[in-house]
Structure 1
């Protein structure tokens, strides 16, 4: 299966392409990471079948631009019994999986503390964060014109702790 860049990042950190769930895809689309075309490739590559699922794969052009999200939610419900909803447990789990995959990816990169701070701040702004994530980078005063600085050890501890929580939650 050919994965786009965002799905490839997620797959690398969730045990491969087969570890990606419909919840991950719905949430990834909502966050703006996954484009409709990329999701259609994922669906076709996964061999998913069903009326709503086929419909989401057939959308093109203006129809795809205007009806894709609703069609994706219907396909997700068709495949899993229920689509994840913002604020729900499944949504939160997928949000955590995205957050952790992105943080792991950042940790693997040879970034300076400043670049690490910018990366973590960007993840925070894109995916949101629990309060305990706020200690992962140091935000400087806007007037100082200094970039934020990331704390690599704090990020690694956060990732390990949240992964353990996800395993415990099942």
Structure 2
């Protein structure tokens, strides 16, 4: 789907997996991620995702991995998963060099619209590492609210990264979809 902002939204395919892994890694890990504000480089090392994890999302029946392109270049992505009366929003990544210009806002708005129209859900859920105050504040400005419900970080499972601190956990954020 095309938007006025020159963005093209489409569902990812198996041939997109390597580019999606590179995009997610660039947004969250290592020195390249420091060009944007979403970096997790100070709290997590190692990988953020891997080809197997991305492929699993692409192939899952109640899931879609939305790929966002500008001028034929992949600049963002997000996962939407249908979970009964709500959708789960995850694997959200915006290229570090594209951050700060409204692209993230456009992607999350389109994701919410698609979840509502495709599945008829009334809420969007996501989990965010609870120490990411700046990121949580960004989501709050988009209408998400903190629930105080937390789940443990998967310490010891390096598929999710190598924690640099011992107080990491996920907090559930929820937004009512009109």
TM-score under structure 1 length normalisation:
0.30
TM-score by length of 2: 0.29
Structure showing the higher helix proportion among its residues: 1
Larger Rg: 1
Please state which structure has a larger fraction of its residues in strand. Answer: 2
